[in-house]
Amino acid sequence: MTKTDILFTPFRLKHLTLKNRFVQSAHEPSYGEGGLPKARYAAYLEEKAKGGVALVMFGGSAMVSAAWAPSFGQLNLADDAIVPAFQALAERIHRHGAATITQISHPGRRSRFDSRNWIAPVAPGPIREPEHRAPPKLIERHEMAMIRADFGAAAKRCLDGGLDGVEVAFQAGQLINNFLSKDTNTRTDEYGGPLENRLRFGLEALAEIREKVGERFVVGIRMVGDELTDNGMDQQECLEAAIAIAESGLCDYISVVAGRAGDLGLGPAIIPNMAFGSAPWLYLPSAIRARVAIPVIQAQKIADPVTAARAVADGHVDLVGMNRAFLADPHFVAKLRDGRADDIRLCVGANYCIDRIYVGGDALCIQNPATGRELTLPHVIARAESRRRAVVVGGGPAGMEAARVLSTRGHAVTLFEKTGRLGGQINLAAKATWRSPLAQIAAWLESQIRRNKVDIRLERSPAADEILADAPDCVVLATGGEPFRLAVPGAEHLLTTWDVLAGRAEPSGAVLVYDEHGGHQALSTAEVIARRGADVEFATPYRVAGIELGGTNFPTHLRELSKAGAVISTDLRLVRVYREGNRLVAALRHEFSLIEEERVVDAIVVENGVLPDASLYDGLKPLSVNLGAIDYEAIRSNARQEIVLNQHGRFRLVRVGDAVASRNIHAALYDSLRLLKDV
């Protein structure tokens, strides 16, 4: 017996026998095409079933009504076209012995009026959602009747599509949640006021669904265990609601989450980022499970096998809902089952996936570029037909991924790293307060390349002749770069975020942190400096701080800076710096009025991205078969890189990561996987 064996005990969910306790919780990766789960969507979900998950849920807040616009690319269940798409999807999941359920919902006030049909959002009160900001129309009874019927019709399409059940969204700031929450429901009739009344619409929707699908189809809900907001539903009221729903006999399981989507400050709590410990809200489903007679699932930041096993063994939940963990590694379950727990790529909670959704993108994992790209990139890298020699220069994420891919292919790989430690810029980022879990990305990559017997040479910056001495067939330059320094008068007085995070400088007193990048770097560094007691002003030329960040990360930065007493100034561009005595003067120009103002400070710290180091590349390029060129058409068509521009070349030369241009961890890993997977 191992600590995690309990996770592989079967479980009976209504008529379904689940082969283990792992559930891919419902979510929307925004891979749909015209509201349908086509090839990309199906391949993404099938990978989870192939990887051993017992119950694959999907379709976060899939739309039951066609009139209102989806807010983040949800599936459309209001049209019969979904039925054959679901039939194909269900067949792919079922072939691996997994069951599948989709979540269904109506957005309520969590929508916009000025998209698709230009129909005003509806809600049981006039309070607009802070995130979407559209004032809702007070829902009328004929609309309630129509939407209840839409729930039933959508569930019937799921049944006809071969799915095993539906999960009804009683949370996420959607319509049923709007009825439940006392601060968003201002009705004075039988649908407002006491909890019994506020539950009525949701129970009526469940009754409509049950009438349409019969008793053998699984009907569950995802609900809130505590809305974590003033005047919302607290834990006690949520518990009372859960008991009433369970006792109604209309529901086969309850999936429990914390928080309410749409409230700007709650983004990091609803989908806990790396500032939160493991399973921070487990006590909420635990309290509900103690009072109801139907299965309970938890679906917030259970990311490792030990926490998952404890959640089941200690009686907190019946099934473990995981989402981001399976984005990071869709084969998590199979690896654990096969005794390869050390090989699992654990989610670090960076929330790159969900934050992309919040700004209109698709879900991508910060550390697994194959996730969502199953049609073109492998999760399991195949061995090459013949063994080659490769040299990788640079031990950051791009270089380690290059070494991992090439060595997994079976090639002999030498990796040079100029410092005494692998990890590159991740090592800096992980020093920034609550973002320390990023170090796990580098740790996993290092474990993989060491297992593959990569020849790692630390504290070595090879010249061209040393690289050529290995007679490589492929040379990968992952040399990154250096901080891109601002070209302003007085730039010699400026520190970089690297100086601070690497410990080369510890600015104190009055410190101006200036950000032209818009990501985590400057915000994280400002937090570090402020926590040391400095008086920090964070300035940026953009209209908001952290303009590149999504809704589950920027609130944590702003909260921590506020707690530390930092001031945030937007729309200000640093135009010059000069010394005045033993202090510095920063001239800041307002982006729109062009009025200048000055700050007298003790230090100025700047973030402006990375300027690639091209020196080694320029020296090796004439010696390569491809002269450093990348075949972009081959990238687009997912073909092997075979371009030849120099018949006398001795090796193929590839640049990846920040050695190409200043980007992020995901881009660095994606470069290496897609360019080297066929070498």
| Mean predicted confidence (pLDDT) in 285-298 | 98
Q: What does the block give as tokens for 100?
A: 């599948």
Per-residue model confidence as pLDDT tens digits over 613-666: 999 999 999 999 999 999 999 999 989 999 999 999 999 999 999 999 999 999
The pLDDT tens digits of the residues spanning 161-170 come to 999 999 999 9
- Structural tokens at position 72: 């983040």
* 160 exposure class (CB count in 10 Å sphere: 0-12, 13-18, 19+): middle
Per-residue pLDDT of 376-407, as tens digits, reads 999 999 999 999 999 999 999 999 999 999 99
Do you know the residue count of the chain? 679
Question: What's the CA angle centered on 451, arms 449 and 453, to 5 degrees?
Answer: 70
| Number of Cβ atoms within 10 Å of the Cβ of 589 | 17
Tens digit of each residue's pLDDT (9 = 90 or more) over 584-607: 999 999 999 999 999 999 999 999
pLDDT tens track for 107-163: 999 888 887 778 999 999 999 888 888 899 999 999 999 999 999 999 999 999 999
pLDDT at 1: 57
Ranges of H-type helices in 302-396: 305-313, 324-328, 332-337, 352-358
Q: What is the pLDDT of residue 32?
A: 95
276's enclosing H/E stretch is: none
Mean pLDDT across 262-270: 85
Burial class (CB in 10 A: 0-12, 13-18, 19+), 393: buried
Q: For the chain, which domains are there?
A: 5-350 (3.20.20.70), 389-482+612-676 (3.40.50.720), 485-608 (3.50.50.60)
Q: How far apart are CA 286 and CA 288, in angstroms?
A: 5
H/E element, 200: helix 200-213
Alpha-carbon distances, residue 54 vs 25, 69, 99, 540 (angstroms): 11, 32, 6, 47
Q: Which pair of tokens denotes residue 620?
A: 């090796």
Provide CB contacts within 8 A for 7, sequence distance 6+: 20, 21, 22, 305, 308, 309, 312, 320, 336
* pLDDT for residue 642: 94
- The structure tokens listed for 214 are 């019969």
Between the CA atoms of 614, 615, 618 and 619, what dihedral angle is there, to the nearest 10 degrees? Answer: -150
Q: To the nearest 10°, the Cα dihedral for 671, 674, 678, 679? A: 0
CA dihedral 262, 266, 270, 273 (to 10 degrees): 130
Say which residues have a Cβ less than 8 Å from residue 338's Cβ, sequence separation at least 6: none
The strand order across the sheet containing 603-607 reads 495-496, 603-607, 510-515, 535-539, 567-569
Percentage of residues of the chain with pLDDT beyond 90: 92
The predicted-structure confidence for 525-562, as pLDDT tens digits, reads as follows 999 999 999 999 999 999 999 999 999 999 999 999 99
- Give the predicted TM-score (pTM) of the model: 0.96
